[in-house]
Chains A and B, each alone.
Chain A
Amino acid sequence: MRYFAAVLLFLLAAYFYFYFGFYGSNWILLQPFLLALLLLYFNSNSPWFYYSFALLAGLFVDSFSGIFGLHSFTFIFIIFILKNLQLSIFTSRNILTVVVLSIFAFVIFYFCVYLIHFIFVGDFYVFSGRLFGQLAKMAGWGILIVAILHILHFNFWVKKNEEQPF
């Protein structure tokens, strides 16, 4: 079941990635693959499973972007940091933890993208107030989506079928 859900999430993320990328202008900042990765991470307890998903999702995005390896490394690094935070500081299971870790994920994502782009291309992005606003808005939407889907999954699936992963 979880493999089916992972494939479905991957395909949905790919759909929205192309759809937003080509037609939705600023909606690409929603980062569909990051949302899919977070959802899978919060709802799975097998590190091999979500690390593999992070690798595949990253490689997929890298195939259509300028710096090969950027997203792969970023996604794996995000999972690594979130897992460490969960094992050390944010050990509780509530929705606030999910929201806080999602915020961390978005911050790490943009930080890595900026840093790796700067190191390997030697160019830097211009973070205008407008772009910051859009990033914050889309990150907010992303976190909201992750939180809602996580709650839905917990209430309608985990409670009835299995134990919550963390």
Chain B
Amino acid sequence: MRYLLIGNPNVGKSSIFNLMSESYAHVGNYGGITVEKKIGQFKFGELIDLPGTYSVSPSSEDEGIVTNSLIHENYDGIVNIVDSTHLKRNLHLSIQLLEFGRPIVMALNMMDELNHSGKKIDIKKLSKKLKCHVVGLSARTKEGIFDLVQQLENVGEKESFQLYYGKIIEEAIEQLMGLMKNPKNKALNRWLAIQILEGNHAILEHIEVNNPLQVELIVKKCEAAIIQNKVAFSLKGAIFNYRRDFINNLYNECLTTFTSLNKTKLVNQRIDRWITHPIIGFFIFLFVMFSIYFLTFDFLGNYISDAIGQLFEQIIPLAKSFLQILGAKEDGILMNLIIDGVLAGMSGVLVFVPQIGILFLLLAIIEGTGYMTRVAMMLDTLLSKFGLNGKSIVPLVTGIGCNVPAIMATRTIADKKERLLTILIIPFMSCSARIPVYGLLASIFFEKHRAIVILSMYIIGTVVALASAKILSLSIFKNTSNQFVLEIPPYRIPSGRNVFRQTKLMLMDFIEKAGKFILLGTIVLWFLQYMGPDGIAQTNDTSFLAYIGNFFAPLFQPLGFGTWKAASSLIVGFLAKELIVTSMIVIYGGESVYAQAITTSFMTGISAYSFMVFSLLYLPCLATVGVIHQETKSLRFTLFAVGFTFIIAYIVSFIIYQVGILFI
């Protein structure tokens, strides 16, 4: 059995998905379009988690996925997750799903919150009126989850649910149903007709009708009649009104209020007075970001990272003697490859895993509280001056963790141009894979000011991102439709289980990706610098890698790091930014001597700083380039993104180095 999980944004869909699915969850592609979907296994089959949506008819990329899945995905039923504290708004989507006619179970989440606010829902009555199974539950207390799972064992066929839309619309529905290719499935055809009348243009891409022009004519005539007879100001508005009347009746019949005290709301509004205050709120935001930063890099993360570094120092001699026992020669190829190549390269990145883990954990907690919505509001006015949207802040902050999910998170931005603009500047947000580069160079060159130097990278990244957004919005991305409307969810205490699960997933993903790339990368890299055109390279300088690096090195001369070693690390770093550090360690001769070697090669702190800035900005990693192409479906745009970041990186590093050497 396969079920689709559908609901409004912020109704706890992912929590329920996590609670229900026993084993996580592979990520696959939706039929027809290549967008990731989450699939979880549960007792009676599979669950497919769809993005949150207010309506079946899509007004952003995310919502298009829902229409697409309803029609093309192979499934046995729908689980409609409903926020019981916002029943009136949530039921608009439910009605569209009920009209669709497939087996459906409605899960009323947050029942505990509803009861706390002094209200109660008559589930039996609701179930009877909507002609579907209804289960009350709470993802927070886990109450009712078991009932929901039991319901899914056997959903069976569904009684048909029909809403009467008034004479004018019903006539149009009849006419449209007559034009459908497959006249047998009445419920589906009626649903399609309603969706067409509602203005769901995307639906016409999925189905075939006998006479598309006729369809358009019917819609136009219907809309004209609605306006002429003063039913509503638009056809969609009229359909909305009929649904709202139905929902209001249902609400009054099934919901009882026993006390009218709503404490949460009062508390919320009191907190919001400070959080969204134009000045204090902004400082709170900065404080939160700095706290994340210092917890990750200074207080907590550093100690754990140092401990892991020491662990590796213990492991390397052990591995050495172990290899000797196996019969490897002291200076042999194998020894060299494993100790100075793979192990040294791995340890260079793995020591940063605790820091990255803390970062992901903190981001997950903040996401769970509802704070990001407030930040989006607070920064909307500021960001709109840069051609962006308050909603851009969520992908931008996510980008600090990893650029790849950040680019996918832009799907919530409804305006196409604002979305592309956000995608273009995300690679400037310093992701966790760049941490090793900073960590390594800062500890060699800026021992005493490590935290400040690394912090400056994040600031440079953000400033460059905003400045580029401004430039682009004045030139290529003019005239965005500039819309912003946001539902404000109440504050919630994030569930520990969810937070840990999310962190674990992202961290495992990082380790897996890094592990794969690093292992492969170091081996290839090691060979390139071990071998030269004349066989085994006598010195580093006659290796293949040196030849490649030397070719590009002059390009980087004005930036302060025109050596083949730096150039080839950057080339390798395009695969994954973690590899910059790995390759530097390998090129500079292994764990024990690289620090000294780097100092003699870079010479000054300013060229090291310029190198750090360049690795921050220069190219999105291969995975990011891949996801940019996947999301935009445009090769031109992807190439533009790559070229644009490279040019910006070059300019910024050039200025930093050239200005820097004037003073030092």
Same complex for A and B? Answer no
Which of A's residues lie within 8 Å of B, judged by CB?
A: none
Residues of B bordering A, CB below 8 Å: none
